[in-house]
Structure 1
Amino acid sequence: MKALFLSAALLSATLAHAQTPLRGLITDKNGQAIPGANVYLKGNFEGTSTDSVGRFVLRTKLTGAHTLVVSSVGYASQERVLRLGADTTLLRMALPEAANVLGGVTISAGLFEAGDEKRMTALKPLDIVTTAGGGADITSVLQNLPGTARVGEQEGLFVRGGAASETNTLIDGMIVQNPFYSSIPDVAQRGRFEPSMFKGTAFSTGGYSAQYGQALSSVLLLDTQDKENDANKLTFDANPANLALGYTHRGSITGRVSYTNMQPYFTLLNQTRSWAKAPEGLDASLTVKEKLSTHGSLKLYATTSHSNSTINLPTYERPEEIYPLRLRNRNYFTTNSYQHQFGEGKWELKAGFSYSHNYDYINVAANKSLDRYDRRLQYRTVLTRFLRGNHTLLAGAEVHQIQLTNELISAKYTLQDSYRAAFAEGEFHLGLRVAARVGVRAEQATVLGRANAAPRVSVAYQVGAHGQVSVAAGQFYQTPDKSYIYRNQQLNFEKAGHFMLNYQFMHNDRTFRAETYYKQYAQLVREKGLIGFDPDPYRLVTAATDNSGHGYARGLDLFFRDQKSIKHGDFWVSYSLLDTKRLAGNFVALATPTYASKHNLSVVYKHFVPKLGVSASGTYRFASGRTYYAYEAPEFLGDQLRAYSNLSLSLSKVVFVKRSYVVVYTSLDNALGTRNVYGYRYSPDGKLRYPVQPQTYRTVFAGISLNLSK
């Protein structure tokens, strides 16, 4: 379990020295101040925002001629060439209205992304680490947004009736092969990455850009932080499950080592699971963020992790009969990206390279081995042309070399795939109120011997000064799960068509969003010739398969966030209504999957007391009962669990000593001790039923973080 100490790194600011102050005032054409406008130097990472009266102070070490750019949502960007070191007088710039990003959101419906030039997002790292019940885990906190389902026994994002495998995680545009720690039956795992690595999160619940593919439901886009300053920083973190040490040199090179041992934590809290060896692991990472020239920057990230655990699982044949399952994991991942602007800012080139490999060594009773290996090597290049009138054209390509292997006792399954994709997309602003994005993506998977073409389109219309209506539609493809391709490489891509209608209002730190959608599944893989249904999610596929499966998902998502009404308070509420059914896999009839809830509600409140350095947070989650398989029930997946309910609380205290600080934190998950059940497992004859439960019904956690900086 990661600690909430991450909030410390996001609550401090480092002072810069020997810098030139650039001061100014930003207004509209009528002379009214524009608060929150972005002010930055073109081709560099140095920038700031205007305050509540439109004023800004930008400090920089740069000298000579540079272009200052000022932009704000709803206005046309303005540029002015300055000679830094000489032009330090008060600047005044007026921004005309423009057909730009509308209401602070992108024109793409379904995407939780806000801000000018798509650099600011709906949930920032501070949101992630200060949300009670999230445990500073990105995926867990995103489950508080509409469109997601709370599935406690599996890791991943389950979006609008889609399985976790239908969501892709990308870092700087590169697919992450293993974004979560390796899975243990009926025990959800955390994500591998720290929220502080990223500028923020852009989470698409559907209808996403043609730049991305291989995800039937959604994508989670994570962009790593840029170099912010030249400070040195040393951090130390401790809690009952984890010790971590990190060091940052001159703001550009960061190394971190973390040791995790859950045994002390399990000793403090009773567990519903029996562990022969509590999870133990060692993680290390290295990050490099460097500006190579005035217009070019390079970011490198590499991480490796080693873990080991043994859990005692029930056999589901006789009460109290168990067998040990030992899991050893070795994971390595690196992603490297280069960004360069040229042609006086009219062109931008982004190139990326990443490599990952993951080894799961699994031993079950009687030393039976069930090992898994996977590797992914990928390259990606995107070229963007910025045109007059805020129009944008881009084109790109990516190549993935994938190798997957499963060893099941005496059997061994291996496949290799060369996945290639090319895409093109244009964003056009048609007058002051209308914007459109049109794109197409073409893909080829050699393992299937097939290709596809997926068109995407979204249109936005501004309603009033702060609202917009958006519509989006598109086609999305995904290669079937490896368990199917191992035995049948004649399958086709699985397919989903998305249609969404969205209204969003953003003003004065308040956001309201309503979106209705319809998703049509086709070409899903089905298993044929089966006698009955096998609910075991880890079973071996032995039946014949084809692409005759189908399904649908439709619903309504509502979201409201208020960061204004209560001073130093932040409140949001989200609600989702979902109707979904599918006939796929080894389903015997069209039915609602076990991971989908009809109703999902989340309420989050945070409050910060600056004088005391205290931050408090509370989260309440509710989900109506999910379907589950009941042995010999009259209706297939017709039975429902009782509703899920969880109240979580957290409290942290920050103490500053000059530029250093200490954070003490504590959290309480499921404060009311609700006995949630995630499903049931049955004995082979159906006479015995075993509930799938959380590891513990009430979780208490505490720790400390120390940050020393120069």
Structure 2
Amino acid sequence: MKALLLSAALLTATFAQAQTQQLRGLVTDKNGEPIPGANVYLKDNYEGTSTDSVGRFVLRTQLSGAHVLVASSVGYTSQERRLVLGADTTQLRLALPDAANVLGGVVISAGMFEAGDEKRMTALKPLDILTTAGGQGDITAVMQNLPGTARVGEQEGLFVRGGSASETSTLIDGMIVQNPFYSSIPDVAQRGRFNPAMFKGTAFSTGGYSAQYGQALSSVLLLDTQDKQSDANKLTLDVNPANAAVEYTHRGSVAGRLSYTNMAPYFGVMRQTRSWRKAPEGLDGSVTVREKLGANSSLKLYAMTSHSASDINLPSYELAGTTYNLQLRNHNYFTTNSYQHAFGEGKWELKAGLSFSLNNDYVNIADGAKSLDRYDRRLQYRATLTRFLPGNHTLLVGAEMHHIRLTNELFDASYVMNDAYRAAFAEGEFHLGLKLAARVGARAEQAHVIGRSNVAPRFSLAYQLSATSQLSVAAGQFYQTPDKNYLYRNQQLNFEQANHFILNYQYMHNERTFRAEAYYKQYDQLVREKGLVGFDPDPYRQVTGNTDNSGKGYARGLDFFFRDQKSIKRGDFWVSYSLLDTKRLAGNFLALATPTYASKHNLSLVYKHFLPKPGISLSGTYRYASGRSYYAAESATFLGDELRDYHNLSLSVSKLFFIKRNYVVLYSSVDNVLGTRNVYGYRYSSDGTQRTAVQPPAYRTVFVGVSVSLSK
């Protein structure tokens, strides 16, 4: 909730006047039709941009003198224009002839929602995330408005196409984030740790993702950090009832942010369904460095640390009205560093990365009588080498290594797991004529902790049906090392496996996008617990039984997405719908059944409207999910009972104005305007006679804040 204020910082940026020179123009084909998503850049430099949906571009640059402007797009022959920066100010127009041996506008898109990468079909950008009502500036919360995701309010994470949150990995600049969310307490979901404004785009894969990534049976969320954009200095101050933050950027290269959070004042105004003895309090700090190392190289460094503490009384579930005390302290450190270098006259590109994360959770129960401490750390190295071939063919090879240590101290017992995970991958994208493209790849993995290896082939094919539509298919194998709670007790397990099959249709024209996707996902080698008496529905229980890889399951369904940014002037409308049928026999399940985090129907409606004269931005989001299954001790059918349907209507409004040439943004939001009493599940007493509903922390939330940007 606290980072709703982050939207203000990015909103101000959208109104800022450029400090640099602007080159404006239009890129068309030989018939004068605009080419969306074309690359426009200055040769031998990193200064570049992409054309919008009607072929227009604006390139901002600090360079001067004679340079060569290049326009290129898949399916067309690149064109160059010599010009003198600072002197040539006329409207530029570049016409690209068809290429005889490359694909015209087709991209491999099955399973992917791209954001910020204009070469592919755009679904969301950082500003979309920060201005979506009900998202509160949180990447994951807004991604739950896209098809293929389930609305799970009591746990953090992305639940994609019948998969649990542990089946989705988050990556920043290609590096896995060990702890993408703030540490949580039972049945209280936490938000992500990262500010959406630090990323230039998000790519959310709902399945069939690239061989570059692994260790995720269902999905990957790819986040690419911003490049250096200007040499301006900027100071931003944010204040709201729960948080105060200050951020300073020096010459566009170095940025530092410090944020203090204390939810006590906010909880004092907004009634909570939980009994807090100490409201969450935390201190976050981060440093970002973005620097160009010459014309063909760049370096990005990001480091953050966060420290938080809370104290809460939670229901015991044994007797109505009884509680137990839980205290949580968290210390988290994370850094990721990436280097990029182009050479061989742009024919080769090297990317290398290094990341390190350390997370410590100190959990005390019953005023310190019992402890449940958790520690984890991960060190990752990664490198990729890409060769750009004539005809827009591309070959990529890469490798990565992870050193992982996980520790769980449970009362008087201590469980430790060490793993050295290695992977190598290769992938090629080939254009087989004007209307057909294929991507073929394979990933080889080895996990030291279980002494196992695998090879996972992946394949995608795209065919252009018309100038505005295409059909894609994708298939592949995906593996994941079993959950740490199983590996603490049994390190003889095998990889869990999922096979994906996807058929995708996509239409994009005149700022309207329609997407339909059918999929089938088959699970094999899932971990099962044996020798248990009955079923324990507690999601936080400890594994006590014997385990093996005899589990299985499936997920199949249809996803639809429509976005219209044209029909209503200054309006933006999304519709997202998912139909899901999934069952699995895994964990301590007694039979093949629909897991409790999966909804058969999920619907999201999002509308945004901007009023430029008063500087007001409006947004509304309605979310619906059919009732999820839950375990009822008295029921004759295992996981056969369903919760009531989920409904949520959220609204937000922001106002921009100026004080002595400085930007000021006032923002407010209301989540669950109608106060719907949603229920996320039920918890039962050990004898099954007592049932307690799992509810959101508050049925309705109201949030207001202000952001001031001290820059011109």
Counterpart residue identity of residue 31, structure 1: G
Quote the Cα distance in structure 2 between the aligned partners of 1:591 and 1:23: 57
**Retained in 1: the 8 A contact 2:648–2:673?**
yes
The letter for the 2-side match of 1:318 is L
1:329 aligned residue: 330
1:656 is matched with 658
**TM superposition score normalised by structure 2:** 0.96
**Which residue among 555, 562, 567 is the counterpart of 2:569?**
567
- Quick one: distance in 2 between partners of 1:502 and 1:259? 44
Instruction: Please name the residue that 1:10 is paired with.
Output: 10
Structure 1 residue 214: Cα displacement: 0.2
Residues 41-50 or 334-343, more deviating: 41-50
Q: CA deviation at 1:658?
A: 6.7
Which residue of 1 is the match for residue 444 of structure 2? 442
Q: Output the CA distance in 2 between the equivalents of 1:462 and 1:658.
A: 52
Partner of 1:390: 392
Q: Conserved in 1, the CA contact under 8 Å of 2:233 and 2:249?
A: yes
Does 2:556 match 1:550?
no
How far apart are the structure 1 equivalents of 2:217 and 2:439?
Answer: 20
Q: Which runs of structure 2 are paired with 1:234-253 in the superposition (5 Å)?
A: 234-253=235-254
Q: Spell out the pairing of 1:188-267 with structure 2 (5 A cutoff).
A: 188-267=189-268
**Residue in 2 that maps onto 1:353:** 354
What does the per-residue CA deviation read over 1:88-139, in whole Å, with 9 as the maximum and x for residues that have no partner? 6765421123576776x73130000267674774211100011000111000
> Would you say 1:643 and 2:645 are equivalent positions?
yes
1:7 is paired with a residue of what secondary structure?
Answer: helix
Question: Closer, same or farther in 2 for the Cα pair 1:686/1:57, shift >3 Å?
Answer: closer
- The structural deviation recorded for 1:696 is 0.7
Question: CA 1:23–1:704 in structure 2 vs 1: closer, same or farther (change >3 Å)?
Answer: closer
Aligned to 1:282: 283
Q: Is 2:386–2:394's contact at 8 Å kept on the other side of the alignment?
A: yes
Q: 1:35 to 1:201 in 2, by over 3 A?
A: closer
Is 1:403 matched up with 2:405? Answer: yes
Alignment match, 2:673: 671
Contact 2:431 2:438 in 1 (8 A): yes
Residue in structure 2 matching 1:508, options 497, 507, 510? 510
Does the Cα contact within 8 Å between 1:623 and 1:644 map onto a contact in 2?
yes
Residue 540 of structure 2: aligned partner: 538
The 1:81–1:443 alpha-carbon spacing in structure 2 relative to 1, beyond 3 Å, is farther
**Aligned-residue CA RMSD (Å):** 2.0
Instruction: Answer yes or no: is the 8 Å Cα contact 2:504–2:516 preserved in 1.
Output: yes
- Is this contact kept in 2: 1:335–1:353, CA < 8 A? yes
Q: Where does 1:463-478 land on structure 2 (aligned, <5 Å)?
A: 463-478=465-480
Report if the CA contact (8 A) 1:247-1:255 is conserved: yes
Distance 2:428 2:524 in 1: 28
Q: What's the offset of the Cα at 1:38? A: 3.6
Instruction: Check whether the contact 1:121–1:201 (CA below 8 A) recurs between aligned residues.
Output: no
Deviation at 1:467, TM superposition (A): 0.3
Offset at 1:65?
A: 6.0
Contact 2:115–2:201 (8 Å) recurs in 1 = no
Is the aligned partner of 1:684 residue 2:669?
no
Residues 541, 115 of structure 1: alpha-carbon distance in 2 compared, 3 angstrom cutoff: closer
Match of 1:601 in 2: 603
Which of 680, 694, 697 matches 1:695? 697
Q: Distance in 2 between matches of 1:101 and 1:617?
A: 38
Taking the aligned partners of 1:560 and 1:17, their CA distance within structure 2 comes to: 36
Contact kept? 1:247, 1:254, Cα under 8 Å: yes
- Please give the per-residue CA displacement for 1:258-301, whole angstroms capped at 9, x wherever unaligned: 00001111110111111111000000000000001100000000
SS in 2 for 1:211: coil
Amino acid across the alignment from 1:410: D
Contact 2:672 2:701 in 1 (8 A): yes
Match for 2:397: what amino acid?
A
* Native 8 Å contact 2:583 2:592 kept in 1: yes
Give the Cα–Cα distance (whole angstroms) in 1 for the partners of residues 688 and 58 of structure 2: 70
Whole-Å Cα distance in 2 between the matches of residues 660 and 120 of structure 1?
A: 35
Assess if the C-alpha contact under 8 Å between 1:462 and 1:469 holds in 2: yes
- 1:623-672 CA distance string (max 9 Å, x none): 00000000131010000000000000001101135752111011111111
Would the alpha carbon gap of residues 60 and 683 (structure 1) be closer, same or farther in structure 2, given more than 3 Å must change? Answer: closer
For the 8 Å contact 1:276–1:312, the answer to whether it is kept is yes
Q: Secondary structure at the match of 2:710?
A: strand
Q: Aligned partners of 1:355 and 1:120: how far apart in 2? A: 32
Shift of 1:482: 0.2
Shift of residue 22, structure 1, vs aligned partner: 4.7
* CA separation of 1:556 and 1:315: change in aligned 2, threshold 3 A: same
Unaligned runs of 5+ in 2: none
Q: 1:416 aligns with which of 415, 418, 423?
A: 418
Aligned to 2:130: 129
Q: Which residue in the other structure is 1:315 paired with?
A: 316
Does structure 2 conserve the Cα–Cα contact (< 8 Å) formed by 1:439 and 1:455? yes
In structure 1, distance between residues paired with 2:128 and 2:529: 42
Shift of 1:66: 4.5
Give the CA deviation at 1:581: 0.3
Q: Structure 2 CA distance, aligned partners of 1:169 and 1:571?
A: 27
The one-letter code matched in structure 2 to 1:459 is L
CA distance in 1, matches of 2:672, 2:56: 45
CA distance in 1, matches of 2:136, 2:249: 24
8 Å CA contact 2:328–2:362 kept in 1: the answer is yes
- 1:546 alignment partner AA: D
**Could you tell me which of 611, 614, 619 is aligned with 1:612?**
614
| CA 1:622–1:226: 2 relative to 1, 3 Å | same
Letter in 1 for 2:365: V
Deviation at 1:55, TM superposition (A): 5.9
Residue 625 of structure 1: aligned partner:
627
Q: In the TM superposition, what are the counterparts of 1:84-103 in structure 2 within 5 Å?
A: 91-98=92-99
Q: Is the 8 A contact 2:116 2:200 kept in 1?
A: no
Distance 1:69 1:210 in 2: 30
- Structure 1 stretches of 5 or more lacking a match? none
Distance 1:574 1:266 in 2: 33
**Is the Cα–Cα contact under 8 Å of residues 20 and 230 in structure 2 kept in the other structure?**
no
Question: How many angstroms apart in 2 are the aligned matches of 1:322 and 1:53?
Answer: 60
| Cα distance change on mapping 1:23 and 1:508 into 2, 3 Å | closer
Which one-letter code corresponds to 2:696 in the other structure? P
CA distance in 2, matches of 1:49, 1:108: 18
Aligned counterparts of 2:475 and 2:569: Cα–Cα separation in 1:
39
| Contact 1:112/1:122, CA 8 A, preserved across alignment | yes
Say which SS state the counterpart of residue 4 (structure 2) adopts.
Answer: coil
Between the aligned partners of 1:123 and 1:400, the Cα distance in structure 2 is 30
Q: Tell me which moved more, 82-91 or 221-230.
A: 82-91
> Structure 1 residues 33-42 or 195-204, which shifts more?
33-42
> How many residue pairs align between the two structures?
708
- Work out whether 1:302 is the aligned partner of 2:303: yes
Give, as a single letter, the amino acid of the residue that structure 2 aligns with 1:201: T
1:358-373 aligned within 5 A: 358-365=359-366, 367-373=369-375
Aligned counterparts, 1:583-594, within 5 A: 583-594=585-596
Q: CA deviation at 1:49?
A: 4.9
* Mapped partners of 1:241, 1:113: distance in 2: 32
Instruction: Kindly provide the amino acid, as one letter, of the partner of residue 460 in structure 2.
Output: S
SS at match of 1:709: coil
8 A Cα contact 2:462 2:471, kept in partner? yes
8 Å CA contact 1:306–1:331 kept in 2: the answer is yes
CA deviation after TM superposition for structure 1 residue 707, in Å: 0.7
Partner Cα separation in structure 2 for residue 243 and residue 454 of structure 1: 47
Distance in 2 (alpha carbons) for counterparts of 1:656 and 1:45: 33
